[in-house]
Amino acid sequence: MEPAFGEVNQLGGVFVNGRPLPNAIRIRIVELAQLGIRPCDISRQLRVSHGCVSKILARYNETGSILPGAIGGSKPRVTTPTVVRHIRTYKQRDPGIFAWEIRDKLLADGVCDKFNLPSVSSISRILRNKIGTLSHLSHREGSKEAAHGTPQPALPCNHIYSYPTSIAGRKVPSPPGMATLPGHMAVHRIWPSSHSVTDILGIRSITEQAIGEGPPVHGSRLEEWSSINRIHFSTSSDVDKPHVDPETKYTQVQMPNGLSRVSSCVRVSSLPPYHTPTQASPYMGYSTTSTGYVAGPIWQPPNSSTLSPHGCDISSALSFKSMSSASENSHRVTASVL
């Protein structure tokens, strides 16, 4: 059970344990970093732990993506469509073939290797569920498998996958196709859950307004951005409901190397401009757009005026940065090119 309002970290920022920071915050982190602001200052300004800032920036530098990795799920399925197709073929050629024989043939024919070879029980399940209602064959297989031995457990070595239907790449979560796009805040999948702080808090995003008000050319991106952040006023019964169609929940395309590729991405320059923070809750304002993420007392640089942690615009970020570092001129970056 998640806390209804998240938790507050040592910096006064709000987070939901186990859940990623909102994309807007992640983008802000990268933006500020690209403005030359030091990670420690970003951490204080956005009230995100420096470990998190470090992690996000490291990931961004490595992959070009600001997005969190794919949370949850199991190991990639070994029963890929190709494997199923071959199993079907084997079964059609020899209706009496046993599951363990199919398994051997998959290996012998090079359809699978030892790392992604389905277990006998998996093949039996495929024969039973996918190949057709060959009940007599299933029955026969069952008896034959019993003679051959107990069904094998899950593959012992299936941690290595070289086929395309794996779930989103784990250690390298971002699609290689967009990994090195400079200045892109690559978005490679839809925000995965309704359990974001935003959803929990039910704070309306300005993005929704932007969809209605913005120019049509940005509609699709904004719509995607809206779906990514999926802001809506949740009721308690609404919190756990997926807000997007399950079929469209993940827009990524699996790549042959097991990594995911997105069908689209969001440039920071396509996002709405930053607004002044909109305090949507007496407890905190937490909008997954670029607008507001305010909790607790506003942090101030040691020798400066007050800055809003998430609501500052680029100029204030720059002023902040200029206070923090004197070497900014070498990193002149504008928001439009981020």
Partner DNA sequence: ATCGTAACGGTTGAT
Partner DNA sequence: GTATCAACCGTTACG
Give the footprint of DNA on this chain (CB under 7 A): 1-2, 7, 9-11, 13, 15-21, 26, 38-41, 48-52, 54-59, 68-77, 154, 159, 167, 169-171, 173, 192-195
Written as one letter, the residue type at 87 is I
Q: Report which of 214, 165, 218, 168 is spatially closest to residue 190, judged by C-alpha positions.
A: 168
Which residue, 12 or 183, is less far from DNA as judged by CB? 12
- Residue 15: strand, helix, or coil: strand
Which residue, 211 or 228, is less far from DNA as judged by CB? 228
Smallest distance, Å, CB 129 to DNA? Answer: 12
What residues contact 21, with CB distance under 8 A and at least 6 apart? Answer: 15, 48, 52, 56, 68
Smallest distance, Å, CB 240 to DNA? Answer: 8
- Residue 233 tokens read as 């006023």
What is the sign, positive or negative, of the torsion defined by CA atoms of 205, 58, 3, 237? positive
Which residue, 72 or 182, is less far from DNA as judged by CB? 72
CA distance 100 to 35: 59
CA distance 311 to 275: 6
Which residue, 6 or 277, is less far from DNA as judged by CB? 6
What's the chain's Rg over C-alpha atoms?
25
Q: Report which of 87, 101, 86 is spatially closest to residue 141, judged by C-alpha positions.
A: 101
Smallest distance, Å, CB 94 to DNA? Answer: 26
Smallest distance, Å, CB 202 to DNA? Answer: 15
Which residue, 164 or 214, is less far from DNA as judged by CB? 164
The H or E element that residue 222 is part of is helix 219-229
Smallest distance, Å, CB 116 to DNA? Answer: 12
User: Do residues 170 and 201 make contact, with C-beta atoms less than 8 angstroms apart?
Assistant: no
Smallest distance, Å, CB 209 to DNA? Answer: 25
CB atoms within 10 A of CB 94: 12
Smallest distance, Å, CB 248 to DNA? Answer: 12
Which residue, 129 or 143, is less far from DNA as judged by CB? 129
Smallest distance, Å, CB 298 to DNA? Answer: 16
Which residue, 16 or 186, is less far from DNA as judged by CB? 16
CA distance 60 to 67: 8
Which residue, 39 or 175, is less far from DNA as judged by CB? 39
What residues contact 67, with CB distance under 8 A and at least 6 apart? Answer: 20, 23, 26, 173, 174, 186, 187, 188, 189
CA distance 230 to 193: 9
